Chains A and B, each alone.
Chain A
């Protein structure tokens, strides 16, 4: 049973990033963990967030276009010939 005096589900989901970042103070951390012990919905929410982070981490950002790279390398060559 959910302890209605403590953190409710709607409040908990707003603390998930703070929890994962280790940014909760001791009191909030205790309330957070106590809530999870008896709440399947929030346990699943946290699990989904972790899954989201894991999947996001498997993506790669788009690569540099060769045009941009050529321009920059040319700029670098010009810079290399800079006045000492």
Chain B
């Protein structure tokens, strides 16, 4: 849908409005997810995305292609969002991105496992997960629950899972766009997936303790 970078950059520089409209539409939802890491509301995130695109246009003639255009645009977005937060005197929750690993957050509630001093299976499953009912997985409501679980995630986890698992970016693309270390990217992804899985299980097995 989006042409390779060289072609795309040339089209944009030549003022091709269709090419611009196409990338704006293609990347918008992802840009919005990322902007929301730094902004207090969706409305502000929308403004930040708009502002970032204006900066992109302003700098496009100087784009050297050292990274992909997509990475470059997302980096400009992140900088725009940070600058805006600073200007408005808001603390940037970016430390939540960089220091994800500092606050432990178990993938599965500790109560699901046997205690560490259990004679046979310390740390083994006390309440193991059960087979998911395949026919229900395909139901629209199940997908709606998953979408709702993603919406409910902290913004940094939501951004990473949206780019990786919804949009299908590679981990390298996500790391470059968000300026994240490999480990932090993985920690955020791990927590996001674990929470979404839990939401799925809660929905399909509401009788679980």
Binding site for B on A (CB under 8 A): 2, 4, 8-11, 13-14, 16-18, 21, 23, 39-42, 44-45, 47-49, 51-53, 55-65, 68-69, 71-73, 75-77, 79-80
Question: Complex formed: what's the CA distance from A71 to B57 in Å?
Answer: 13
Contact pattern, B 88-114, Cβ under 8 Å of A = 1, otherwise 0: 000000000000000000111010010
Question: Complex formed: what's the CA distance from A51 to B30 in Å?
Answer: 22
Question: Are B186 and A21 in touch, CB under 8 angstroms?
Answer: yes
Set of chain B residues within 8 Å of A75, measured between Cβ atoms: 50, 53-54, 57
Question: Are A73 and B20 in touch, CB under 8 angstroms?
Answer: yes
Question: Are B125 and A41 in touch, CB under 8 angstroms?
Answer: yes
Question: Are B200 and A52 in touch, CB under 8 angstroms?
Answer: yes
Binding site secondary structure of chain B: helix
Binding site secondary structure of chain A: helix
Set of chain B residues within 8 Å of A2, measured between Cβ atoms: 121, 124
- Closest partner residue, chain B, to A22 (CB atom): B171
Question: Are A13 and B196 in touch, CB under 8 angstroms?
Answer: no
The one of B15, B53, B54, B143 that contacts A58, using a Cβ cutoff of 8 Å: B143
Question: Complex formed: what's the CA distance from A16 to B43 in Å?
Answer: 36
- Closest partner residue, chain A, to B49 (CB atom): A68
Question: Are A76 and B129 in touch, CB under 8 angstroms?
Answer: no
Contacts A10-B113, A57-B165 hold; do A64 and B25 have CB atoms under 8 A apart?
yes
Cross-chain pairs A/B with CB under 8 angstroms, 9 sampled: A10-B106, A42-B125, A44-B128, A56-B196, A73-B17, A73-B20, A75-B50, A76-B57, A80-B15
